[in-house]
A and B are shown apart, each in its own frame.
Chain A
Amino acid sequence: MGTETIHALRDVSLDIQRGEYVAIMGPSGSGKSTLMNLLGCLDTPTSGLYELNGANVSDMDDNQLAEIRNREIGFVFQTFNLLPRSNALRNVELPLIYSGMDAGQRKQVALDALTSVGLGDRIHHKPNELSGGQRQRVAIARALVNTPSIILADEPTGNLDSKTGEEIMALLEVLSEKGNTVFVVTHEEDIAKHARRIIRIRDGLIASDETKSKGKGV
């Protein structure tokens, strides 16, 4: 704990279009977590500008950020981060509760999201009654349910075996093809190669930014 200010990211300039499927890669300490926090509106930059859908996120206060996250961002975490005491349906309903949707509509929308990830028959299961892959699907359904601008997946396969990991990546790919903007933060090449654009971060700087031509990804 020093008093010296560390800039986790410097001179990062990115322009991401709607519908892109982007992998952010980098070793630990590279600043990719910071980038993810900024993109996910969990944090604001000390200097610089972040515009999301034309709105300047950089100047927003806590409550505005919460609203933006609720509307625009769907998070998928490495450790799933489901609420342990709530069943799958209620976990997926959570963003809708915070956005103020009424109960009847909420249930239907959440049910649709769970069905779309193939868990329509598991809605009353609690997280500890589901497998790792199923939990991550619930998390993806939760990320999707508010039809956000961005789905932000932080090491989504990190706690899964490789076969299940592939299934999850395939699911994200389907979402991407349906027109969702998807970010995957990872340090595994195998995972990153699913994306059409790979941004590599090293020491807080963008080391490379390559886009594959369409149709080439897996």
Chain B
Amino acid sequence: MNFFVELKEGLAIAWDAIRANKLRSVLTTLGIVIGIVTVTLMATAIDGMNRAFRKSISVIGADMLYVNRTAWLTHTEVEWLKSQKRREITLEQANAVAKEMTLARAVAPVVGMNQSVIYKTRSSSSVQIMGSTDQFLNTSGFSLGEGRFMTAAEADGGRPVCIIGLDVATNLFINESPLGKKIKVGPRSMEVIGVLAKQGSFMGMQSLDNEVIIPIQQLLIGYWRNPDFQIQVKVAQLDQLDEAREELRGVMRKIRRVAPGDEDDFAINQQEQFITMFNRVAGTIAGVGLLITGLSLFVGGIGIMNIMFVSVAERTREIGVRKAIGAKRRTILLQFLIEAATICLLGGLVGLVIAWLFTFLLARALPVHLSLSVVGLALLVALITGVASGFFPAWRAARMDPVDALRNE
């Protein structure tokens, strides 16, 4: 008897046995259903979390380096306090970096602040005002919805112009184009020359659409004389990121006259820091989460094992008859393994359907959908649970002595 035939016969027998004990099968399967639901939801949630993170982190391009006075992810309070005492990064330093970097595609100085923005009777409070140059369009990765971005000449002084984010545009302008209109950014009046396309938010917190971008000179003259700059550097080639960072570090040390042997009085930040931190946190959450939900599956598996022992005991005589008629050990073993696996797979399928329904609830919080890999994994886990928990009872059945089994009443 070849394996395929054994499988087919085993499935037919298993189906009969499951149907013959409907209530029992349902109750047994329940453990697996719950196990698969929790494991699947946990895997989906983790998947969604990763997805949300990756989507957010793409705002910080992989090819970007950010020079700040402080590191984004300082580890201790002492470190942070120390970095607060450092000298500001100035526009001159930013310009020097732009001039000296050979591995950079674009360099932009950026300063941010909050102001309220007013157009006629409508106003938006607490809008992020970004002062920068024409290069900002390259370094930020923002794209323009309509109008144009500022020119280099506009950045260096000249006219009071601004580019507004989509939220600002929809808040202030109803049924009219913002282009060419003058809005009040804080105390000063600026002409809208462009509107950004929708950017979304960063890490689900800070909206990137509630922004107004103004020429850096306008910001220095009108709002803030000596701000602390961030220098955004987009590297020319992604595979030269490390070289570019070293070059940037050298340039910064030279510009800020850091003595050899002294440590940097600035920090170079990049996407990787976030990714490293996220992976560490996400890895822990995934490990703990799957362990806990895996426990419920384990309990379900114990239930299957228990009921399979009962099933084997009940059918001792049947096993005896099958053996007398010519069933080999392997055949009997397979029969009960298939029965256990079938129960678990059915449980897995039901669990997946329930989990799929739950993902719609979950989708309100995270960008989740039940991915094909999770479905495949869940079914595989269900199958493995069935085979693992069915093995011991099936082994007992396979090893029965036909004479004893036939004598069983």
Whether a CB of chain A sits under 8 angstroms from the CB of B324 is: yes
Interface string of A18-54 (1 = CB under 8 A from B): 0000000000000000000100101100000000000
Look across to chain B and name the residue whose beta carbon is closest to the beta carbon of A43.
Answer: B403
Contact between B402 and A98 (Cβ–Cβ < 8 Å)?
no
- Which single member of A81, A99, A146 contacts B317 (CB below 8 Å)? A81
Contact between A94 and B325 (Cβ–Cβ < 8 Å)?
yes
Contact between A42 and B402 (Cβ–Cβ < 8 Å)?
yes
B188: which A residues are within 8 A, CB to CB? none
A62: which B residues are within 8 A, CB to CB? 328-329
Contact between A85 and B406 (Cβ–Cβ < 8 Å)?
no
- Which single member of A63, A81, A97 contacts B329 (CB below 8 Å)? A63
Look across to chain A and name the residue whose beta carbon is closest to the beta carbon of B19.
Answer: A85
Give the complex CA separation of A85 and B318 in angstroms: 11
Whether a CB of chain B sits under 8 angstroms from the CB of A75 is: yes
Interface string of A146-189 (1 = CB under 8 A from B): 10000000000000000000000000000000000000000000
Give the complex CA separation of A79 and B66 in angstroms: 86
Contact between A42 and B324 (Cβ–Cβ < 8 Å)?
yes
Contact between B325 and A100 (Cβ–Cβ < 8 Å)?
no
Give the complex CA separation of A83 and B13 in angstroms: 11
Interface string of B318-354 (1 = CB under 8 A from A): 1011111111111100000000000000000000000
Interface string of A89-108 (1 = CB under 8 A from B): 00000110111100000000
Contact between A99 and B321 (Cβ–Cβ < 8 Å)?
no
Contact between A66 and B2 (Cβ–Cβ < 8 Å)?
no
From residue B53, how far is it (CB to closest CB) to chain A in Å? Answer: 53
B325: which A residues are within 8 A, CB to CB? 69-70, 75, 94-95, 98, 142
From residue A28, how far is it (CB to closest CB) to chain B in Å? Answer: 13
Contact between A67 and B328 (Cβ–Cβ < 8 Å)?
yes
Whether a CB of chain A sits under 8 angstroms from the CB of B16 is: yes
A81: which B residues are within 8 A, CB to CB? 317, 320-321, 324, 406
Whether a CB of chain B sits under 8 angstroms from the CB of A86 is: yes
Whether a CB of chain A sits under 8 angstroms from the CB of B88 is: no
B327: which A residues are within 8 A, CB to CB? 66, 98
- Which single member of A83, A85, A99 contacts B1 (CB below 8 Å)? A99
B330: which A residues are within 8 A, CB to CB? 63
Whether a CB of chain A sits under 8 angstroms from the CB of B272 is: no
Whether a CB of chain A sits under 8 angstroms from the CB of B205 is: no
Those 3 A-B pairs whose CB atoms lie nearest each other, nearest first: A70-B326, A98-B326, A100-B1
New A-B contacts (10) at CB < 8 Å, excluding given A67-B326, A99-B326: A42-B402, A62-B328, A66-B323, A69-B323, A77-B406, A81-B406, A85-B20, A95-B326, A98-B1, A100-B1
Q: Can you give 23 contacting A-B residue pairs, CB < 8 Å? A: A42-B402, A43-B403, A62-B328, A63-B330, A66-B323, A67-B328, A69-B323, A69-B324, A69-B325, A69-B326, A81-B317, A83-B318, A85-B16, A85-B17, A86-B16, A94-B322, A94-B325, A97-B5, A97-B9, A98-B322, A98-B328, A100-B2, A100-B5
